[in-house]
C-alpha cells in the first residue's frame, strides 16, 4: 500500500512539473515582473538578481520614480509584483501618527506609489512577493498594524537588526501545514534580519506561516488561498540569502511559476 501511495505522489509531482513547463512554453514573450524599487543603489539591484537567477527569461520592470498613475498603468502589462525592502512605513497609515518620532526615515512619496501598486495588484488577482518593508506595507494596506520599534514595543524580543553588513540572524518556527512548511519540508530554519519594525496585528485576509522565538510574524500568506494567485510575504531578505536556497531561491522559483500561470490566464 505504501508503495502505491509513493508511486501516486511521484506521478502527481511529475504531472505538476510538466504542466508548469507547458504553461511556461505557452508564453512567447518575456513575462514581465514589476518591482516597487529595483535601483539605482546596488542593494536594490539584488532583488532583480534573485529572481533572474531562478529564471533569466523574465523581464524586470522598475516602478520607482514613477507617478502612481504611471506605475499602475505599467503594472497592467505585468504578471507579478515584488514589493522590496526600504524605509519605515508612515505610522499615519495605521493609526499611530503620534509615534512618528520613533521612526527612522519615512518616504511618503514611495508609500503613496506602492500603496497604489498593491491595490491594483490585489484587484487584478496578481501574484505578489513582499519582502521586509514590502510585507509590512502590504499588511497595513489590508488593515493590519506594525510595531513602531521592536526593541521598545516587544518584550524579550530577539535581535532583529544590528550594524553589521550581513545583518542579524535568528531562527524561525514554521506553522505546521502552512504553504511555507509544505514547500521547504521543514518545521524550522534560520533567516537574516535587518529591521526594527514588524507586523503587530496581522490583517484579516492573511495567516501566519512562520514566527521568530519572540512571537513576531516572519512570514505570512493568504488565509483562504483558493482561487487566488500566490502571495508570499517574508520579513527576511531572500535576496541576501543566496547560500540558503530553502528560504530564498526556492521561494522565488515557486513564485515565478505562479507568475507564468497568471500570465497565461490574464
For residue 202, is pLDDT > 50? yes
pLDDT reported for residue 106: 94
The answer to whether residue 132 is catalytic is: yes
> Cα–chain-centroid distance for residue 151?
23
DSSP code of residue 168: E
In whole angstroms, give the CA distance from residue 131 to residue 47: 9
Average confidence (pLDDT) over 100-120: 95
The answer to whether residue 78 is catalytic is: no
User: What's the pTM value of the predicted model, to 2 decimals?
Assistant: 0.89
Q: Which residue in 54, 200, 218, 239 is the catalytic one?
A: 239
pLDDT reported for residue 24: 52
C-alpha cell read off for 173:
518556527
pLDDT reported for residue 18: 42
In whole angstroms, give the CA distance from residue 6 to residue 14: 12
CB atoms closer than 10 angstroms to residue 68: 17
In whole angstroms, give the CA distance from residue 101 to residue 92: 12
CATH fold, domain 31-265, is Rossmann fold (3.40.50)
Q: What DSSP string runs through 104-158?
A: --B-HHHHHHHHHHHHHHHHHT--EEEETHHHHHHHHHTT-EEES-HHHHSTTPP
In whole angstroms, give the CA distance from residue 62 to residue 80: 12
Helix axes 133-141, 108-124, angle to 10 degrees: 70
pLDDT digits (tens, 9 = 90+) for 6-41: 333 334 334 444 445 554 544 447 899 999 999 999
Give the start-to-end residue ranges of the domains of the chain: 31-265
Q: Which residue in 132, 195, 218, 257 is the catalytic one?
A: 132
The answer to whether residue 239 is catalytic is: yes
Interstrand relation of 32-35 and 198-201 (parallel, antiparallel or unpaired)? unpaired
Q: Which residue in 103, 196, 237, 257 is the catalytic one?
A: 237
CA angle 223, 224, 226 (to 5 degrees): 150
Amino acid at each position: 500500500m505504501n508503495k502505491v501511495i509513493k508511486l501516486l505522489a511521484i506521478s502527481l509531482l511529475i504531472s505538476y512539473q510538466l504542466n508548469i513547463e507547458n504553461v511556461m512554453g505557452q508564453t512567447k514573450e518575456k513575462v514581465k515582473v514589476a518591482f516597487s524599487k529595483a535601483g539605482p543603489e546596488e542593494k536594490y539591484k539584488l532583488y532583480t538578481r534573485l529572481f533572474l537567477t531562478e529564471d533569466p527569461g523574465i523581464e524586470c520592470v522598475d516602478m520607482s520614480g514613477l507617478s502612481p498613475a504611471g506605475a499602475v498603468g505599467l503594472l497592467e502589462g505585468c504578471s507579478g509584483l515584488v514589493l522590496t525592502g526600504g524605509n519605515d512605513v508612515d505610522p499615519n497609515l495605521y493609526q499611530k501618527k503620534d509615534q512618528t518620532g520613533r521612526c527612522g526615515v519615512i518616504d511618503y512619496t514611495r508609500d503613496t506609489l506602492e500603496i497604489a501598486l498593491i491595490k491594483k495588484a490585489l484587484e487584478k488577482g496578481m501574484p505578489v512577493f513582499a519582502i521586509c518593508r514590502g510585507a509590512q506595507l502590504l499588511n497595513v494596506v489590508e488593515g493590519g498594524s506594525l510595531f513602531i520599534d521592536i526593541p521598545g514595543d516587544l518584550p524579550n524580543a530577539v535581535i532583529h537588526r544590528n550594524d553589521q553588513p550581513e545583518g542579524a540572524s535568528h531562527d524561525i518556527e514554521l506553522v505546521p501545514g502552512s504553504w511555507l512548511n509544505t514547500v521547504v519540508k521543514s518545521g524550522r530554519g534560520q533567516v537574516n534580519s535587518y529591521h526594527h519594525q514588524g507586523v503587530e496585528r496581522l490583517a484579516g485576509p492573511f495567516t501566519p506561516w512562520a514566527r521568530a522565538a519572540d512571537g513576531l510574524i516572519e512570514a505570512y500568506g493568504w488565509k483562504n488561498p483558493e482561487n487566488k494567485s500566490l502571495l508570499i510575504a517574508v520579513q527576511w531578505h531572500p535576496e541576501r540569502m543566496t547560500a540558503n536556497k530553502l528560504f530564498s531561491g526556492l521561494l522565488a522559483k515557486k513564485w515565478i511559476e505562479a507568475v507564468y500561470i497568471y500570465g497565461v490566464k490574464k
